[in-house]
Amino acid sequence: MARSAAGGSVITLRPGTVEDIPSFVELGRAVVPPTYGPIDEAYAQRMLDEWWIPAVFEKSLARNRHLVAERDGEVAALATFGRLTESYRDFPDVTGEREVMWKLYVHPAHQGLGIGSRLLAEIEALVEGDELWLEVVDGNDRAVGFYEAHGFTEAERSADPRWPDDVWFKKVLG
């Protein structure tokens, strides 16, 4: 897959496989606490315990597409996407089908180099529908700024009294 240079290093995008699962778990441990800890520490821990674990990656690899960005041969970021109805999660608040980017996570050591933008552009080119959706945890203002700068707008909100809201963003692909 495509290569590019960032900060003097080489960025390569490739599909993720089950062999990447240990790297995905490690990426979660590096990126989830600084991203979600300031919003809700218990929620950040729940994410690591329930979602960033090998068993969940095995399920998601079987159902969704995974894109890995490597920087100089090291896993630097993960993005995943697929149809809502193919998710292993339930979405009682949502009706209809949608193409969703489930994850976009760049390791803190590699943020701000254009890797997130590269992964997003690749996914926009790969999805089949004419819209791309994603969920942002309420309070993740940096991610909201990033997505708004890339043409996404807030569309819906799912509330759960125990946790921060999930905010759905949508982009119409041109």
Ligand X SMILES: CC(C)(COP(=O)(O)OP(=O)(O)OC[C@H]1O[C@@H](n2cnc3c(N)ncnc32)[C@H](O)[C@@H]1OP(=O)(O)O)[C@@H](O)C(=O)NCCC(=O)NCCS
CA-to-CA dists, residue 83 to 17, 95, 127, 156, angstroms: 19, 13, 9, 17
Q: Is 113 in the site for ligand X (CB under 6 A)?
A: yes
Among 11, 136, 167, 168, binds ligand X (CB under 6 A): 136
Q: How far is the CB of 46 from ligand X (least distance, A)?
A: 15
Among 19, 92, 149, 160, indicate the residue that binds ligand X (CB under 6 A).
149
Is 13 an interacting residue with respect to ligand X (CB under 6 A)? no
* Rounded Cα gap, residues 88 and 83, in angstroms: 11
Binds ligand X by CB under 6 A, chosen from 47, 106, 123, 167: 106
168 touches ligand X by CB under 6 A: no
What is the rounded CA–CA span in Å between residue 96 and residue 155? 14
Non-local CB neighbours of 129 within 8 Å, separated by 6+ positions: 97, 98, 99, 173
- Binding mask of the shown chain, residues 24 to 53, with x at each position contacting ligand X by CB under 6 A: -------x---x------------------
CB of 169: closest distance to ligand X in angstroms? 9
Which among 25, 20, 28, 106 has a CA at the least distance from the CA of 65?
Answer: 20
In the complex, which residues of this chain contact ligand X (CB under 6 A)?
31, 35, 104-106, 111-117, 136, 140, 142-143, 145-146, 149
